[in-house]
A and B are shown apart, each in its own frame.
Chain A
């Protein structure tokens, strides 16, 4: 049973190795001759006056929340799609009701301009 997941684990391993290797390759291969001017934030510019961490707009948060909600909706569709043939029309109606209710929310979000970035 678990053996059938070996391809997935292989891909995971490749992904990790690829990420680690390519992130450190330049450090391994490139020449390193640091000096003070090179290490400053802007080599020939102004000294930074405060941290670069800035407060994010709350709009990102709203987009993220809406993304999660629709993501969960899609997760419910996955087992439904697998069982679609067995459930037949009955399952289809259930899903239509589910999506119909969420569609009201979607129209609301669009109408209220919640996804506009002005």
Chain B
């Protein structure tokens, strides 16, 4: 086993365990904290796949900024008895996991089919696709139009946040 393989298994284990903890913790604050662990583990996996930019974004934006927002919202809502919100077990609470497993089987089988039955190789193209330099090149040439449109989306979101949260307007 190479160093890379060991690293992958460690990160994957951390990712799966933390994801399970996110959906089983009844205290929303604990669930949110485990989500951070999950994000960091995923960032590590992205790094092993040579997707540097996605890994950096994952840590900066998701584990950093988005999680701050999630924690603020939990504290803002401050539902005193979150633990009572869990509904009784019915067929619904079982249909979710079953559907998830079916989707997992479908995805695994498809990936195996496309990649010729093996999961343990990284496409040689991924060596250069995920680098920051390549993403910069693509984003500012082929994808420059969506890039500029994204700024309008961010602008609308900015004004929207102010309208929703501000009580009195001067």
Q: Do A and B come from one complex?
A: yes
Binding site for B on A (CB under 8 A): 1-3, 5, 9, 51, 53-62, 64-69, 71-73, 75-76, 78-83, 86-87, 90-91, 94, 97-99, 101-102, 104-106, 108-109, 112-114
CA distance A75 to B69 in the complex (A): 17
Q: B44 to nearest A CB, angstroms?
A: 8
Number of A-B contacts (CB under 8 A): 141
CA distance A109 to B76 in the complex (A): 21
Residue in contact with B161 in the complex, picked from A3, A62, A78, A104, CB distance below 8 Å = A62
For residue A115, which residue of chain B has the nearest CB?
A: B162
Main secondary structure of the interface of B (DSSP, over half): helix
Starting from the known contacts A87-B141, A108-B159, 16 additional A-B residue pairs (CB-CB under 8 Å) come to A2-B4, A2-B47, A51-B80, A56-B78, A65-B161, A71-B64, A73-B151, A82-B132, A83-B136, A87-B140, A94-B140, A99-B151, A102-B151, A102-B158, A105-B155, A112-B170
Complex contact A60–B137 (CB within 8 A): no
Q: B71 to nearest A CB, angstroms?
A: 9
